[in-house]
Amino acid sequence: MTKVVDEALRKVAKGTVIFLIGTLIYWLLEFICRVIIARGTTQTEYGLFSIGYVLLNIFVIIATLGLDSGTSRYIAYFRGREDNKVSSIVYSSLQLVLISGIICSFFAFFFADIISQKIFHNNELSVVLKIFAVAIPFLVLSNMLSSIFRGFDSVKEKVYFHDVLMSVLRVSFISAALLMGYKFSGIIYAYLLSIVTATTAFIIYAIKKLPKSVKNMPNIAPMRKELLYFSLPLLATSALGILMSRVDTLMLGYFKTADIVGLYNAAHPIAQFISVALSSMLFIYIPIATQLYSKNLIVEMNRNYVILTKWISSVTLPLFLIFFLFPSRILNILFGADYVQAGTALQILALGYFIGNLTGPNGATLIVVGETRFLMWASLTGTTLNVILNILLIPSHGIIGASIASVISLTLINILRCWRLHSLFNIHFIDKNVLKPFILSIALIFVVAFIFKNFVTATAWSLIFLFVIFIFIHFVAILFTKCVDEEDINMLLALEERTGFDFKKVRKMLKRFV
């Protein structure tokens, strides 16, 4: 078992390093883009952009039909069985999403006025929606090409084109638009241009680089039905997932004003940064875990799950605590004094996303074992609760109520997913080597934070220094509680091979605590 687990973990580690770097670049540039827009426009205009961005993502999710996850899963599954259906899967998925992307684009464009006036009571939103509508087919194709390469255990394509290139172009074009004196609509056009340019480059690359066996046109009719049957529940899950994470923005836009939406969307992307490590790992985890599942290696899957959960939660604990303990200062540094009042919302949201990390890759593992319908119902339950709580809390508590609703709903979804995995395969995230160092770390970090708040001025540099201290404290806690596993050392070896950094001394030291 150890050999199989080590091999799978090393594959995940290698893929995750590339994807994590790309994702960090993406989130950093996306965040810079948000800050540029927020500082270059009014709070109301930033709120309109945030609403349009959420609606764009919802339309893209709908147009993708759940095939982004379904396609990569099917490619990996049939590759594991050495089946020749891979070519049919690729062409079927591309044909389906291209048609649905064009349909959703036309719908978003022609109904933009109705959505803006009847739901959000703001005519200015219509222009944003019409421009974003043009981007839908391009984003859908970019997502699908990323998923196809993902099925072949390759993550670099998504990193290069969807994450890095598109984000670099976005920041560059928007900055250029502001420097040339363009108004708010010019910024949105710049956003669109970055998507079109990056996706066009991705399409050209895919035509040249996809495996030769895929380029032969197969009979795709038999696979369309099977792909849709598996993927449509994932569509519902994905749509509910994006709605789950963004319904607070939409309902704030309905109950409150665009400037309140802008305030909330300063806190939300900061809190989301906590989930970057989990998102990065999931991209390569699904095809690797699927191949284990196709060989009925359930015990190995469980071990993979526990080790990866420990790594994700350990990496993100110091970041979560910085956000949780110094929310107002962080908002002031990044967005300016006008956004400081979103500090409590940032604390609440950060807690919710960190709980998601603690429970591990539960949703991805349910996709691996084919439990897409349960995922759909779990997401529907959480989203329904989120909508109800938002209706009850937003009118009286504003962004605080929206934050509380999100955290409660996200936690419920994670509990349901973990329960299902445990009941079916006895897979769980609870492990003494995960919990023991966390308890000790949090106790020590809160003492250090108390001293820091009372004797040190919280500047950008002092917070970075404190973040490093938090990392050191957690590392020492892991060693002190002797919660190092043999697989942790093998993961470091995989990271060493991929990054070129020398972890030999660290691995040697860790072996003393296994």
pLDDT in tens, 42-74: 878 888 888 888 889 888 888 887 777 667 766
User: 334: how many CB neighbours lie within 10 A of its CB?
Assistant: 18
Instruction: Give the dihedral sign, CA 18/353/286/72.
Output: negative
User: Would you say 345 and 386 are in contact if contact means Cβ atoms under 8 Å apart?
Assistant: no
Torsion of CA 236, 284, 369, 1, to 10 degrees: -170
- Between 482 and 367, name the one with better pLDDT: 367
In the prediction, which pLDDT does 502 show?
Answer: 53
Q: What is the pLDDT of residue 86?
A: 67
Residue 499 resides in a domain:
no
Average pLDDT score over the chain: 78
Range of the domain at 159: 2-430
Run of H or E including 14:
helix 2-40
Phi and psi torsions of 431, nearest 5°: -150, 140
Residue 355 lies in a domain: yes
Q: Are 249 and 390 in contact (CB under 8 A)?
A: no
| Mean pLDDT value across residues 253-271 | 82
Residue 243's alpha-carbon distances to 97, 132, 427, in angstroms, are 20, 18, 28
Q: How confident is the model at residue 499 (pLDDT cuts 50, 70, 90)?
A: very low
Q: What separation, in Å, do the N-terminal and C-terminal C-alpha atoms of the chain show?
A: 18
Model pLDDT for residues 4-47, shown as the tens digit of each residue: 445 554 555 555 566 667 777 877 888 888 888 888 888 788 88
- Name residues whose C-beta falls within 8 Å of residue 6's C-beta, 6 or more positions apart in sequence: 487, 490
Average pLDDT over residues 321-345: 86
Instruction: Specify burial of residue 31 (Cβ count, 10 A radius: 0-12, 13-18, 19+).
Output: middle
Asked whether residue 381 is assigned to any structural domain, the reply reads: yes
Residue 312 corresponds to which tokens in the numbers above? 């994700």
Residue 508 lies in a domain: no
> 361 is written with which tokens?
């890759």
Burial class (CB in 10 A: 0-12, 13-18, 19+), 502: exposed
What is the pLDDT at residue 191?
92
The pLDDT of residue 192 is above 90 = yes
Query: pLDDT at residue 233 above 80?
Result: no
- Say what the pLDDT of residue 486 is: 61
Q: Is residue 496 part of a domain?
A: no
Which residue do the tokens 């895929």 mark? 214
Would you state the structure tokens that stand for residue 415, as one six-digit string? 């509990």
**Reported confidence tier of residue 389, pLDDT bands at 50, 70, 90:** very high
* DSSP assignment of 87-109: HHHHHHHHHHHHHHHHHHHHHHH
92 and 227 in contact (C-beta within 8 Å)?
Answer: yes
In whole angstroms, give the CA distance from residue 389 to residue 373: 24
509: in domain: no
Which residues, 6 or more positions from 10, have their beta carbon under 8 angstroms from its beta carbon?
490, 491, 493, 494, 497
What radius of gyration do the chain's Cα atoms show? 23
Could you give the number of structural domains in the chain?
1
Q: To the nearest whole percent, how much of the chain has pLDDT over 90?
A: 13
Is residue 142's pLDDT more than 60? Answer: yes
pTM: 0.67
Kindly tell me if the per-residue pLDDT of 299 is higher than 60: yes
Mean pLDDT of 108-129: 87
Res. 1 pLDDT band, cuts 50 70 90: very low
Q: What percent of the chain has pLDDT over 70?
A: 75
**169 pLDDT higher than 90:** yes
Q: Is 217 part of any domain?
A: yes
How many beta carbons lie within 10 A of that of residue 327, not counting itself? 23
| Residues 346-358, mean pLDDT to the nearest whole number | 89
Instruction: Output phi, psi for 113, to 5 deg.
Output: -65, -45
Q: For residue 45, what pLDDT is reported?
A: 85
- Tell me how far apart the alpha carbons of residues 136 and 134 are, in angstroms, rounded to a whole number: 6
Report if residue 202 sits inside a domain: yes
CA separation for the pair 483, 479 (Å, rounded):
6
CA–CA distance, 267 with 312 (Å, rounded to integer): 22
- Mean pLDDT on 467-496: 69
